Amino acid sequence: MPKFAPRIHILLARQASVGLVIRRGPSKQVATFLWDRRRDTFELGQWLKGRIYERRCDLSPDGKYFLYFAMNGKWKSESQGSWSAISKAPWLKALAFFPKGDCWHGGGLWTGKKSYWLNDDGMHQTRQETTLVQRDLKFSLTENFGGECPGVYYPRLLRDGWTLIERNQLARWSRVDIFEKPLPNGWTLRKRAHAELDHPPGKGCYWDEHELTGPKAGQSLPCPTWEWADLDGRRLVWAAGGKLFAAQLQRTGLADTQELFDFNDWQFSAIAAPY
C-alpha cells in the first residue's frame, strides 16, 4: 500500500500567539502539539488511538483550552465510542467529558475565553464538567451547514476572517465550497473545501485544497500540495507533506520561505497529562 504523509490541521488562537496542531497518521492514531507562534517552537501534547475530527474542533481565544470531538469505536465503553471533550491545550485529558455514541454533530466552538458552544443534537451525555469554563446556552449558529464536519468548520472559518464565495453541488455525494481570505500586498488565499465519498487517495471525505491569487489580473499560484493554510500576522503559513512552512508575501509572490517543523517521523507514545 502507498505510504502517505501525516495529515496536518491547525487551530490558531485568536487572541494569543499560539496554535494547536492536530497530526493524524496512521489513520487510527492522532497527536496534538502546541505551537508557540512567536518563537516557532513545538511541544508534543498527547496521542490518541482513534480519530479526532479536526474540523469539529476549536481552540479558545487565549489558546488555553481545546474543544474536540473524537472517536475510538469502543461503543460499549464509558465514552460510548465517540465523545466531545474540553482539555487544557495541547493535552487531551478531559476537563469536561460528553459521551456521544455516534458520529453525527459533536465538537463545538468557543464563544469567549471561557465560554463554549457544544454542537449538540440532543445525544450527548454529561459525564464530567468543570468550573474552569462554562457552556454557552444562548449561542446559536446563524446558518446551518449540516450535521457533520462543515457544521462546525464553516462557522469557524467565517468567524476567523474567511468569506464564503461559492457553494457548488457537483453530484449527490460530491460538493466543493470556496472560501477566500485577504492577504498582504493584494494577494488572496482561496480555499476549496471538498466533501465527497469518492475522495483522492490519502484524503478523507472532507479535504481542502488551496490557491493564491495575486494583485495583478490573472495572477494565480496553485498550491496543490497544501492541505491547510492561513494567515499568521502578516506571514502565510501552510502544511504540506507532513511539514509546516511559512513565507512572506511580496507583490511578486512568496518570499523567504522556511520550514518550521517536520511532523513526519513521530510515533505513538503513551503520555500522561500534567494535570
Question: What pLDDT is stored for residue 172 in this prediction?
Answer: 81
C-alpha distance from residue 203 to each of 167, 192, 196, 262 (Å):
20, 14, 10, 19
Whether the Cβ atoms of residue 217 and residue 234 lie closer than 8 Å to each other? no
Mean per-residue pLDDT, 123-152: 95
Q: What is the pLDDT of residue 1?
A: 62
**Looking at the DSSP assignment, which residues form a beta bridge with residue 36?**
18, 41
Instruction: Say if residue 54's pLDDT is above 80.
Output: yes
Mean pLDDT of the region 185-197: 95
User: What's the CA gap between 126 and 64, in Å, rounded?
Assistant: 22
d(CA 240, CA 210): 11
What pLDDT shows up at residue 217?
Answer: 86
The three state secondary structure string of the chain is: CCCCCCEEEEEECCCCCEEEEEEECCCCCEEEEEEECCCCEEEEEEEECCEECHHHCEECCCCCEEEEEEECCCCCCCCCCEEEEEEECCCCCCCEEEECCCCCCCCEEECCCCEEEECCCCCCCCCECCCCCEECCCCCCCCCCCCCCHHHHHHHHHHCCCEEEEEEEEECCEEEEEEEEECHHHCEEEEEEEEECCCCCCCCCEEEEEEEECCCCCCEEEECCCCEEEEECCEEEEEECCEEEEEEEECCEEEEEEEEEECCCCCCCCCCCCC
Reported residue count of the chain is: 275
- pLDDT band of residue 158 (cuts 50, 70, 90) is very high
Evaluate if residue 41 carries a pLDDT over 70: yes
**Structure confidence at residue 204 as a pLDDT band (50, 70, 90):** confident
Amino acid symbol at 82? S
Q: Give the pLDDT of residue 132.
A: 98
> Does 198 score more than 90 pLDDT?
no
Q: Apex CA 111: angle with CA 90 and CA 92, to 5°?
A: 20
Q: Are 12 and 232 in contact (CB under 8 A)?
A: yes
pTM, entire model? 0.96
C-alpha cell at 263: 511532523
- CA 112 to CA 77: how far, in whole Å? 32
**Cell 481570505, residue?**
181
Mean pLDDT of the chain: 95
Q: What is the distance between the alpha carbons of residues 84 and 133, in angstroms, rounded to a whole number?
A: 14
- Residue 49: the pLDDT is 97
